């Protein structure tokens, strides 16, 4: 196995990438993952206009992250360990306007997560 094929990336999913049909279509395999959570966020619904994504996921209405900073707000999901090549496949799967962000999960693991743009958490003062 080359270094590009090593399972070295963590990906947190709170949505469609947890679904086996989406995993098979995106990665060509079913992913193994463990339950985890993202603290300080909540979910909000949004409409996706990316036609390819709508076809792949089966719907135009999707959950998206909203940063609150409140430790009582928690988004449950699954963390997967994938290859760098699979992370790039996930990049291609996600709809236009979504970006990959590095976050720390409740378990303490750092993982990539996809969402529409997240507001800056930096203090503007």
Residues 29-60 pLDDT 10s: 999 999 999 999 998 866 666 676 667 666 66
**Phi then psi dihedrals of residue 21, to 5 deg:** -60, -35
Residue 8 tokens read as 């070295």
Cβ count within 10 A of residue 102: 10
pLDDT of residue 123: 39
Q: What is the rounded distance in angstroms from the CA atom of residue 111 to the CA atom of residue 123?
A: 23
The tens digit of pLDDT for each residue in 66-124 reads: 889 999 999 999 999 999 999 999 999 887 778 899 999 999 999 999 987 655 444 33
The CA-atom distances, in angstroms, between 80 and each of 69, 109, 113, 119 are 24, 11, 11, 25
| pTM of this structure | 0.79
Tokens 């378990």: give the residue.
107
């Amino acid at each position: 196995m080359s270094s590009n094929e090593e399972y070295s990336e963590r990906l947190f999913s709170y949505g469609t990438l947890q679904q086996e049909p989406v995993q098979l279509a995106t990665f060509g395999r079913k992913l193994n993952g463990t339950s985890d959570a993202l603290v300080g966020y909540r979910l909000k619904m949004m409409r996706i206009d990316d036609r390819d994504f709508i076809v792949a996921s089966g719907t135009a209405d999707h959950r998206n992250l909203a940063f609150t900073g409140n430790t009582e707000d928690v988004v449950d999901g699954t963390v997967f360990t994938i290859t760098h090549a699979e992370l790039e496949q996930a990049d291609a799967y996600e709809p236009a306007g979504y970006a990959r962000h590095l976050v720390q999960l409740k378990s303490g693991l750092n993982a990539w997560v996809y969402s529409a743009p997240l507001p800056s958490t930096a203090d503007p003062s």
